[in-house]
Amino acid sequence: MSTQASSAAFGTPPERRSRAGFWLAGGVAVLAVILAAALGVTRFIDTLSQPDDYLRVTAATPGVLQVDHPGERIVYTEGARLPLYRLKVQVTAPDGAPVPVYAYGGDLTYDTSGHSGRAVGKFAASFAGPYRVAMAAQDGEIAVGTNLFDDLIGIFVGPLIVLGVGLLLAAALLVGTILARRRSTPQDGGIGIT
C-alpha cells in the first residue's frame, strides 16, 4: 500500500495550534506580578515620605495648609507629644470660619525621614483653599496632613487590583488556548478518519 493511499484512508491529521497562547498567558501573569510589586513599592515609598510634606506649626510659627482635595486632615503631635487639649489647636477655613478640631480616636504614629509623630486630632477640610492653623501651647509642635492609615490602605488596594486583573486576563488566555487546542485535536482517540 502506498503512502498516498494510507493517507487518503485515514485522512490528514488536523494541524495542531501553536503553544504561543500558553507563553502569552504566562507572560501576562508575570507582567501582572511585576507591575503590582512595582506599584506597591512606589506607593509605600510615597507614603513613607508624606510626613516630610506636612505643615509644621508651633506657637511662634502658625502656618497655612493649602488644601487641593477636600477631606479629613489629621493633626499629629511631634516633639513633646502633648495631648490635643493642651495644644489648643485652632483652624480657620478659607472663608474665615473656625473649623472644629476633634480628638483622634485611634493610635496612629509615624517615625520616618527624621520626623516622629502621633495623631491627636482631626478636622474636616470641607472645601479647597488655604486653612490657617495655629496653636497656643508654648512647648509643643504639630504637623498637619493626610491620614496615614488611609494612605497605607491605598498601598495595597491599587496593586491588588492590578494583580487581580492581570491574573484574570492570564487565566482567560490560558483557558482560551486550551479550548482552541482541544478543538483542533481529533476527538476519537487520535485517528483522523474522514
Residue 188 has φ and ψ, to the nearest 5°, of -110, 35
Strand partners, 74: 122, 145
Question: Do 32 and 171 contact (CB within 8 A), yes or no?
Answer: no
* Predicted pLDDT at 118: 92
Q: Structure pTM?
A: 0.64
- What Å distances lie between residue 119 and 47, 76, 110, 128, 158, CA to CA? 16, 4, 9, 22, 25
Q: Show pLDDT as tens, one digit a residue, over the chain (194 residues).
A: 445 544 445 666 556 567 888 899 899 999 999 999 998 888 887 777 678 889 999 888 999 999 999 999 999 998 777 889 889 999 999 999 999 999 998 888 888 777 888 999 999 999 999 999 999 888 888 999 987 776 667 778 889 999 999 999 999 999 988 888 777 665 555 554 44
